């Protein structure tokens, strides 16, 4: 019988960790792509706070309440597209923020709820 876990040991992860990683990838768990929440907070305060509120709780009707997780149950790539392209009254930020800065903001948003 051939032991398939040999290659996992070579890259330094166990079978259980590999299985959990595969499950997370298949399910599409939204997680911020190692963004910087401190920089994300600065960018949020500069570009987003006026409409989305200091704590993510907007006072405008129809605007996502990030403090309750509204609009955040999506994959990072989907949120990135929405921020890049804008939606409704929200402007497109593709010319104002880099991809890395957008992921920093997404990381910050995901931490607002905690």
Domain boundaries of the chain, sorted by first residue: 1-30, 37-112
Q: 27 or 93: which carries more pLDDT confidence?
A: 93
Question: Residue 77, SS3?
Answer: helix
The band of 26, judged by pLDDT with boundaries at 50, 70 and 90, is very low
Q: At what angle do helices 37-47 and 99-112 cross, to 10 degrees?
A: 90
Per-residue pLDDT of 62-97, as tens digits, reads 898 898 888 899 999 999 999 999 988 899 999 999
**What confidence score (pLDDT) does residue 112 get?**
84
Residue 27 has pLDDT above 50, yes or no: no
Question: How is residue 114 annotated by DSSP?
Answer: -
The model scores a pTM over 0.75: no
- Four-way CATH pick for 37-112: 3.40.120.10, 1.10.10.10, 1.10.150.120, 1.10.760.10: 1.10.760.10
């Amino acid at each position: 019988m051939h032991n398939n876990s040999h290659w996992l040991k070579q890259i330094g992860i166990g079978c259980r960790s590999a299985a959990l990683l595969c499950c997370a990838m298949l399910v599409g768990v939204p997680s911020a792509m190692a963004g910087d929440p401190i920089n994300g907070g600065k960018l949020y305060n500069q570009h987003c706070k006026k409409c989305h509120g200091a704590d993510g709780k907007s006072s405008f009707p129809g605007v996502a309440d990030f403090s309750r997780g509204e609009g955040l149950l999506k994959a990072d790539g989907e949120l990135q597209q929405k921020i890049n392209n804008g939606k409704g009254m929200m402007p497109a930020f593709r010319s104002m923020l880099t991809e890395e800065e957008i992921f920093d903001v997404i990381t910050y948003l995901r931490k607002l709820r905690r």
